Copies of this chain bind each other. A is one copy, B any other.
Amino acid sequence: MDRFGTVAVVGVGLIGGSIGLALRSRGLASTVVGVGRDLQALEQARHRGVIDRATTDLAQGVAEADVVVVCTPVGRVALDVRRASESAPKTALITDAGSTKRRIVEEVEKTPSAAELFVGAHPLAGSERSGSAFSKADLFRDRVCVLTPTAKTPASRLRAARGFWSSLGCRILEMGPVEHDEVVAYTSHLPHALAASLAATVPVDWLPLAAGAFRDGSRVAGADTELWTAIFRENRGPLMTAVGALQDRLATLKYALMNDDEDAIRRWWDDARTRRALFEAQQPPES
């Protein structure tokens, strides 16, 4: 048991808190240290059993860590990884949970002593809710975690990162950071942009006639503004491409509607229905 020794979680929100809970409930760490800026919030997390110790001093928090997981907002991850690498043991694994990877990995690799400890990671888990109060020990169970090693990633750290994330319940996929960002622009950031577009487009007075399709289609628009502003900025190039592809799709529908072209509308819907069926066929039974 306690196979990971001391684990420092930097940023104890929904993701960091769920990592803490997962480690503690599975007995995978001897100590989970929570590092954050708000000591009161950290103490609340400690009371709820999310972490064992709390500190606002990053250097001190990671000083004895065998594993450091940086779960701060994407705009801060690279800086926190580099700072952690200055104080963590030289044997430590540093990984992160950022929703984007290209710029984070590029920034970290500008500091070779940080790159030697680091494996970029993105667990595809989350919620429209934020904060450690919503943490769940099983948030990562059966979820994909993408690791984004590069030529500079030591094989030993990659093995350690695979072991760490899979011990939380994740299924591991590996790809380059640039490819990762292109893919999640379509699979995650585009759905968020659409949910927000839908939520903002329906006039408020008409919401009493909104039912299941609106509810599900706009759900993630309830997510945190700062979090998503940062993610969109980090991945703005690939997201613009994905939005463009979706705009083309909408334009095709509008043209078919304009011409009342029954066959074109039918084909347009049927393409979508076929793709959705492929997605459903890939899901685990309970998802």
Contact = CB atoms under 8 A, between A and B. Distances in A.
Contact of A207 (B214, B262, B282): B282
Contacts of A183: 206, 209
Contacts of A280: 222
Contacts of A257: 232-233, 236, 239-240, 243
A154 interface: no
A160 interface: no
B240 A126 contact: no
Given A173-B208, A201-B190, A257-B232, A221 B144 contact: no
A217 B191 contact: yes
B209 A233 contact: no
A245 to B, nearest CB: 5
Interface stretch (A33-41, A47-55, A81-89, A271-279): A271-279
Main secondary structure on A side of the interface with B? helix
Given A209-B173, A280-B222, A249 B186 contact: no
A134 interface: no
Interface in A228-287: 228-229, 232-233, 236, 239-240, 242-247, 249-251, 253-254, 257-258, 260, 262, 265-266, 268-273, 275-280, 282-283, 287
A186 B203 contact: yes
A143 B211 contact: yes
Nearest to A277: B222
A69 interface: no
Nearest to A125: B211
Interface in A183-230: 183-184, 186-188, 190-204, 206-223, 225-226, 228-229
A256 to B, nearest CB: 8
B247 A247 contact: yes
Interface residues of A, number: 87
Given A218-B279, A222-B276, A265-B232, A246 B210 contact: no
Contact of A214 (B143, B191, B262): B191
Contacts of A195: 213, 217, 272, 276
Given A201-B246, A215-B287, A273-B221, A229 B266 contact: yes
A124 interface: yes
A21 interface: no
Given A196-B268, A204-B278, 8 more contacts: A173-B208, A183-B209, A186-B202, A188-B213, A207-B279, A207-B282, A217-B220, A236-B260
